[in-house]
Amino acid sequence: MGTRTRIVRIGNSRGIRLPKALIEQAQLSEEVELHAERGRLVVTAVREARAGWGDAAAAMRRHEDDGMLDAYTATSFDDEWEW
C-alpha cells in the first residue's frame, strides 16, 4: 500500500515531503532524477556514469568472454607508426 502526502507551496514552486522510510526503502541519496509520465512523477536514484562496468568486465574475464570481436587487420596507417 502506498503513502499519501500533499503537494505544498514552496515559494513559486510546489513540493512534496517524502517520508524517511520510503527514501531508505528506495535507497535514494541526496540527488535524484525526475521524469513525468501521464498521471505520475517518477523519482529515480542517480547512478554514476559507468557504474558497475568494472565488475562486468571482471565477470566477462572470468567467463573468457572478453576477447576481440574481430580479428586484427593491418592497414596502411600502421606503416606510418613506429611501435
| CATH (domain of 25) | 2.10.260.10
71 located within any domain: no
Domain count, the chain: 1
pTM, 2 dp: 0.52
22 located within any domain: yes
Give the tens place of pLDDT for each residue, 35-82.
999 999 999 998 888 888 999 999 999 999 988 888 888 887 777 777
Asked if 59 contacts 40 with a C-beta cutoff of 8 angstroms, the reply is: no
64 located within any domain: no
19 located within any domain: yes
Contacts of 5 (CB under 8 A, 6+ apart): 16, 17, 18, 19
1 located within any domain: yes
72 located within any domain: no
Domain that holds residue 3: 1-48
Asked if 43 contacts 34 with a C-beta cutoff of 8 angstroms, the reply is: yes
